Amino acid sequence: MNREQSMKDKYHQLVNQYQRDLFRYAVWLTGDKQVAEDILQETFLRAWRSIEQLNDIDAAKSWLITILRRENARRFERKQLHMVDVDTELIVDQHNAYEAEQQQDQLQQSIMMLASEYREPLMLQVIAGYSGDEIAKQLNMNKNTVMTRLFRAKKQLMQIMNITGDE
């Protein structure tokens, strides 16, 4: 097998394995499916161009999430128009596409209402299956800060969803 084909195989493996999780992560990060697709395309384009740098396939998930977060941050280096309005578009779109139940809708809206500093660790826990330590490493944060943010995010969601979580 030649070198280029071997790299292509590695790339296809990455797409197959991580496109779903990264797509979900990008949608909930940006609140807009179109923007999420743009970011994901850029992410995989950059990943492909640097595929030779990826020596350890087990480290790929973290590597891809790092690229994706950088791509997302680039959006904010530019002036954005009406960022707040975009959330509604996602909710409407979701509602039409999946005819989700009322509670599911409420949960989706509640997630989007969370501040991004709370939403992101939560997504890494639920979508990527990361532990507190892994989230802390990925976000370059102290583990205690991560756990506090996770706690606050979930408490907010529990209150909205009428789950008591009382002491």
Residues 72-131 that bind other proteins (CB under 8 A): 78-82, 89, 94, 98, 100, 104, 107-108, 111, 122-123, 125-127, 131
Q: Give the count of residues interacting with other proteins (CB under 8 A).
A: 61
3-state secondary structure 52-115: HHCCCHHHHHHHHHHHHHHHHHHHHHCCCCCHHHHHHHHHHHHHHHHCCCHHHHHHHHHHHHCC
Residue 159 three-state SS: helix
Instruction: Please list, in sequence order, all residues whose beta carbon lies within 8 angstroms of the beta carbon of residue 47, skipping any fewer than 6 positions away.
Output: 11, 14, 54, 63, 64, 67
The residues in 129-158 that bind other proteins, with binding defined as CB under 8 A, are: 131-132, 147-148, 150-151, 154-155, 157-158
Binding residues for other proteins, rule: CB under 8 A, are: 3-4, 7-8, 11-12, 15, 19-20, 23-24, 27-28, 34-35, 37-38, 40-41, 44-45, 48-53, 78-82, 89, 94, 98, 100, 104, 107-108, 111, 122-123, 125-127, 131-132, 147-148, 150-151, 154-155, 157-158, 161, 163-167
